[in-house]
């Protein structure tokens, strides 16, 4: 890798080189401790004599801007005041737009400023210790072999065919999704799928209707794209469809189990939602985020399987059932918006990395995903049962459970007003990470409560942690 320097003409070569290197060091462009090229190599790069470079290195060493190590090389010794030049955001013509994005609230963004606790009830996190690493490693090796056959070529924007076929079969088998592989678009997580759909469907001022409380990253994303996001209330049957305003272009919903409350949308409410979207010409984005884990009641099909008019875009992810760092999601799209979404995906990032696509296709087709989900299901079921018993027992005076049949988080509502900020602070001191329901409301929270994720906390730790919470609640009254 060449060091970027520019020598002009044939005069004062030593002075030109010294000024550029010393300025780069003092400005912080060359980091403290960074090794410079050997004098012979840099001389060849610049077309000057080796003696010129050696003299400059000696001068910089004398000025304490370089440090020579015998037998190793020359290393930058930056002064304490060295720092990169900064441009004030207010100087930009785009300052207002930059400020809009910078000031967006992102309550679920990691890492948290207060750090992690020993007992974390953070939602959306799976159990890493039980992931089949050896099987995944074999699939990655398969992906490397397949990837090498591309010979430096870009992959298809929509995703490799093998994975799209695997996803189509998987979604049909597990959620009743009706689609062919040609309707599947592989994305960098579900969040990119939401971003693509927003770009295709929305313009500044367009109306988006979504549940309130709801998924903050979706709300912030659509708002950042210039949409007017309207919060729609929920009840025991799910989204209150009659609150969806006329003129809405996009309806974001979580029918399998409402995020974050957890209750499934009733069949009657699903039918009403489909009819409302058809009447106003809206696209429904069905976020089916972790419905692979169902514990009771009869399974319900996806909303997409009920769609007879091509108005539901089904969004899924493998982050919840496998591991968040995988960052592979997908969208099953109606024909009306498929080509437009592919064009946007192509312009945004061309395609999702093919290595993990090949690996995931084999992971699904060889049955590893099914086995992993089955193992995790038993594990999550035992943690869920433990949470139920503690909420119905030691925590009963303070909380009531919102019935939920799927996923790996539960929401509890406060029976009486609590000083929630105080509870969260004292719990953090007791090494328990709690997360309030208020984080998920667009405005003031209508109900107080906690969202208790149990994907990553060990079963035996749940009781220890919640008994500490009980003791704190007794203290604060």
User: What HEC string does 222-238 produce?
Assistant: HHHCCCEEEEECEECCE
The answer to whether residues 448 and 318 belong to one domain is: no
The residue from 312, 336, 365 where one domain ends is 365
**Is residue 170 domain-resident?**
yes
pLDDT on residue 115: 65
pLDDT tens-place string over residues 108-137: 666 565 568 899 998 878 887 889 999 999
> What's 408's domain CATH number?
3.90.1150.10
Give yes or no for residue 29 having a pLDDT over 90.
no
The answer to whether residues 196 and 253 belong to one domain is: yes
The answer to whether residues 382 and 313 belong to one domain is: no
**Is residue 433 domain-resident?**
yes
Whole-number Å distance between alpha carbons of 22 and 2: 17
pLDDT on residue 89: 64
Count of residues in the chain = 477
Show the beta-strand stretches assigned E in 56-101. Answer: 66-69, 73-76
**Is residue 211 domain-resident?**
yes
According to DSSP, residue 266 is labeled: P
pLDDT tens-place string over residues 281-315: 999 999 998 888 888 877 778 999 999 999 999 99
DSSP per-residue codes, 398-446: TEEEPP--BSSEEEEEESS---HHHHHHHHHHTTEE--BGGGG-SSS-S
The answer to whether residues 345 and 222 belong to one domain is: yes
CA 291 to centroid of chain Cα atoms? 18
Instruction: Give the domain extent around 456.
Output: 119-126+371-476
**Is residue 82 domain-resident?**
no
Out of 26-35, 54-63, 410-419, pick the least confident: 26-35
pLDDT tens-place string over residues 122-175: 887 888 788 999 999 999 999 999 988 877 789 999 999 999 999 999 999 999
Out of 23-32, 216-225, 252-261, 308-317, pick the least confident: 23-32
Reported as type and span, the H/E element at residue 117 is none
The answer to whether residues 351 and 389 belong to one domain is: no
Q: Tell the burial category of 374 from Cβ atoms under 10 Å away from its Cβ (0-12, 13-18, 19+).
A: exposed
The answer to whether residues 358 and 404 belong to one domain is: no
Percent of the chain with pLDDT over 90: 73
pLDDT on residue 300: 79
Q: Strand pairing of 283-287 and 312-317?
A: parallel
Q: List the Cα angle 246/207/194 in 5-degree steps.
A: 130
The answer to whether residues 41 and 181 belong to one domain is: no
**Is residue 289 domain-resident?**
yes
Q: Which of 401, 398, 413 is nearest to 469 (CA)?
A: 398
The reported pTM is 0.86
Whole-number Å distance between alpha carbons of 188 and 186: 7
Q: Which of 124, 189, 139 is nearest to 369 (CA)?
A: 139
The residue from 339, 365, 391 where one domain ends is 365
Reported as type and span, the H/E element at residue 358 is helix 354-365
pLDDT on residue 87: 60
How many domains would you assign to the chain? 3
């Amino acid at each position: 890798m060449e060091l970027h320097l520019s020598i002009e003409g044939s005069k004062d070569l030593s002075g030109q080189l010294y000024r550029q290197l010393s300025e780069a060091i003092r400005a912080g462009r060359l980091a403290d401790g960074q090794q410079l090229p050997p004098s012979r190599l840099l001389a060849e790069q610049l077309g000057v004599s080796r003696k010129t470079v050696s003299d400059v290195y000696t001068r910089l060493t004398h000025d304490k801007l370089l440090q020579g190590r015998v037998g190793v090389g020359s290393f930058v010794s930056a002064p304490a005041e060295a720092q990169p030049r900064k441009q004030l955001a207010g100087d930009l013509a785009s300052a207002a737009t930059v400020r809009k994005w910078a000031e967006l609230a992102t309550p679920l963004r990691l890492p948290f400023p207060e750090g992690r606790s020993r007992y974390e009830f953070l939602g959306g996190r799976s159990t890493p210790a039980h992931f089949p690493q050896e099987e995944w490693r074999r699939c990655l090796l398969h992906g490397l072999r397949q990837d090498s056959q591309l010979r430096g070529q870009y992959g298809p924007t929509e995703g490799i065919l093998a994975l799209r076929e695997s996803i189509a079969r998987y979604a049909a088998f597990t959620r009743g999704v009706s689609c062919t592989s040609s309707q599947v678009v592989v994305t960098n997580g579900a969040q990119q799928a939401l971003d693509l759909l927003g770009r295709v469907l929305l313009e500044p001022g367009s109306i988006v209707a979504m549940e309130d409380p709801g998924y903050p990253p979706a709300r912030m994303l659509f708002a950042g794209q210039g949409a007017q996001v309207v919060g729609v209330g929920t009840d025991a049957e799910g989204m209150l469809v009659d609150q969806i305003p006329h003129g809405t272009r996009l309806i974001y919903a979580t029918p399998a189990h409402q995020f974050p409350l957890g209750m499934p949308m009733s069949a009657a409410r699903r039918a009403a939602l489909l009819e409302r979207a058809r009447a106003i010409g809206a696209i429904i984005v069905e976020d089916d985020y972790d419905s692979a884990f169902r514990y009771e009641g009869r399974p319900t099909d996806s909303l997409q399987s009920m769609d007879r008019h091509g108005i539901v875009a089904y969004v899924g992810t493998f982050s919840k059932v496998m591991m968040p760092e995988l960052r592979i999601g997908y969208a099953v799209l109606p024909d009306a918006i498929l080509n437009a979404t592919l064009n946007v995906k192509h312009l945004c990032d061309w395609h999702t990395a093919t290595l993990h696509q090949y690996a995931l296709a084999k992971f699904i087709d060889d049955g590893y995903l099914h086995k992993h989900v089955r193992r995790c299901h038993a594990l999550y079921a035992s943690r869920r049962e433990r949470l139920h018993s503690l909420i119905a027992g030691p925590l009963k005076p303070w909380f009531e459970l919102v019935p939920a049949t799927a996923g790996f988080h539960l929401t509890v509502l406060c029976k009486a007003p609590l000083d929630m900020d105080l509870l969260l602070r004292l719990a953090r001191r007791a090494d328990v990470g709690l997360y309030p329901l208020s984080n998920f409301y667009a405005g003031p929270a209508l109900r107080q409560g906690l969202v208790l994720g149990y994907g990553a906390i060990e079963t035996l730790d749940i009781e220890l942690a919640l008994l500490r919470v009980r003791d704190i609640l007794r203290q604060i009254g």
